[in-house]
Structure 1
Amino acid sequence: MKSETLKLENQICFKIYTAEREITKLYRELLKELNVTYPQYLVLLLLWEKHSLSVKELGQRLFLDSGTLTPMLKRMETNGLVERKRSPEDERSVIISLTEKGEGLKEKAECIPTQLTENISMKKEEMTLLNKTLTSMLDLLQNHSNSK
């Protein structure tokens, strides 16, 4: 009897991967008006919440290494969305803060989560359950990674 475990349609990793790609496509359309990429949008979300964070803190929250994050932050700085400054307490630490332009995008972005949800056409209860399930899965995966 043939094993069902190796069928592509039975691979949860493939479903998560393809869902992520499709969601990113939706975001690409929604973010055109802001003129930011999806990873830049994630940085903005954190900075709208905290106003300024160190590169290290941003990397930890976004699960990105500094080699990926630093060039993106430099582009955001060139575009006038953020500013980078050395921390007065620790010269090795770089603090990222929103500029007025970056803060101004918040109002334009407020409709994006609702528009994304409408584009996916999932019921609110389904979206809430999916969010809880993915949060739990991520926690388990992080615990597994940290225990090694």
Structure 2
Amino acid sequence: MPAARKPLYAVTEAERAQRQMAVGVGLDWVQVPAQLDRSGKAQWRHLAEQHRAYPTRLRETDRAAVIAFCSWWSAFDAAQRDIAKRGSLVPGRSSADAARGEGGLVKNPSVAAMRDASQQLRYWARELALTPDSRARQGLQIEEPQSSDDDDPIFDWDAM
């Protein structure tokens, strides 16, 4: 009977956990990317606030992905604001639009832009584990900060 084979390399739990972590130092949230517009910068600051308690949750190696997420958020926000302002249907610009009827109205191009941006937002949110489902799929268990219901400044429990 052949001798039992020893594993070539035994990986400890600490080594396994270290391998699962992204490389690099924690993302420097203070450096707001200059290429982001106002809405993108607001989203960057929102993410920075949400990740303040987890300084190494996202790394400098994730910077481009976070910028992409914030850029697509900005595109989504701009499209949403345009739809809110002008509606889902807008006056057409060609004579064919006017001849078609329905008052020459066509679908607002921002509807397609918003749809495209939402698809990209879902992609980047999944990549960055920004949703509960994507965190679970990546094996991230982030404990929620402990809070007492008595400390909730918005909801008055005594009034119930």
TM-score strictly above 0.5: no
Normalised by the size of structure 1, how large is the TM-score? 0.31
For normalisation by structure 2, the TM-score amounts to 0.29
As a proportion of its length, which structure holds more helix? Answer: 1
Higher strand share: 1
Larger radius of gyration: 2
